[in-house]
Amino acid sequence: MPAILLDVDGVLQVSGEPIAGAAAAVKQLRGAGHRLRFVTNSTTRSRAQLATQLRSSGIDLEDDELQTTGGVASRELAGKRVLALVMNGMLEDLDELELVGMNVDAVLMGGADEGEETGRVFSYLNLNRAFHELQAGADLYCLHKNRWWQTSDGPRLDAGAFVAGLEYAADTDATVLGKPSTPYFQAALEALDAEPELTWMVGDDLESDVFGAHNQGIRTILVRTGKFRPDEVERSRVQPDGIVSSIAQVPDWLENNL
């Protein structure tokens, strides 16, 4: 049976509220024998917190089935002194890193939220500190570079805007650790011991999910929930292998198209 990578925000939930049929679809996919991994760019909660939230909505998963950007960052930045501009919820996933405030090897940018914490994380003082560290030779990393994210109140500006600002100011390029990066997808494939050509990615984001997966030889299903915009699909050079209304239709679609 093919392995399945499931995005979380926009596919299983929006703003923490479950999408109709998500729990039943996950159960059906497991019942069909698919190996599952939940892959997310979410940066507002730790892996344990997010897993607990998903279970509370009826989705059956273990903590170690959920792959976060923080976990990849811990692996990629091990042994480096890191200035981390991240939401408090992510610190638990970064506890193995040496997090310091100056004279760093790497600057790590996290995600944005609509709450007050974003204003503190991405304050002028913090961004300017990061800028000086980059000028002094530190490398720039980001958990993701998403332009915006979907909430129940509509689209919200995401961390990509702040990352792009630091790239411009410091004349450097950030290494992206989350989707659509190769290290992120490779980590997911390794965890499932899966071959790319026998793996499907289910997501709502053409760039992070579809483009990132196709670069690894993974086939894709785009759902019409979350960030899905029909006009973006029409003009995109990247096209999914299938489009369904929501995660609820994925098990039947796979059964009919494998």
DSSP for 65-131, written as a single string? GEE-HHHHHHHHTTTSEEEEE--GGGGGGGTTSEE-SSS-SEEEE----SSHHHHHHT-HHHHHHHH
User: How far is Cα 9 from Cα 58, in angstroms, rounded to an integer?
Assistant: 15
The SS3 assignment for 168 reads helix
Q: Are the C-beta atoms of residues 238 and 253 closer than 8 Å to each other? A: no
Banded model confidence at residue 116, pLDDT cuts 50, 70, 90: very low
> What average pLDDT does this structure show over 175-190?
94
Return the domain boundaries, the chain.
3-41+180-257, 71-176
User: How far is Cα 148 from Cα 130, in angstroms, rounded to an integer?
Assistant: 22
This prediction has a pTM of: 0.88
The SS3 assignment for 16 reads coil
Closest CA to 45 of 22, 83, 13: 13
- One CATH from 3.40.50.1000, 3.20.20.140, 3.30.590.10, 3.30.830.10 for 71-176: 3.40.50.1000
Banded model confidence at residue 40, pLDDT cuts 50, 70, 90: very high
Report helix angle 182-192 to 69-76, nearest 10: 100
Q: So what CATH class is 3-41+180-257?
A: alpha beta
State percent of the chain over pLDDT 70. Answer: 95
Domains 3-41+180-257 and 71-176 are alike in CATH topology: yes
pLDDT tens for 25-39 read 999 999 999 999 999
pLDDT tens for 215-240 read 999 999 999 998 888 888 888 888 99
Residue 150 has a pLDDT of 66
Mean pLDDT of the chain: 91
pLDDT tens for 62-87 read 999 999 999 889 989 999 999 999 88
Residue 136 has a pLDDT of 97
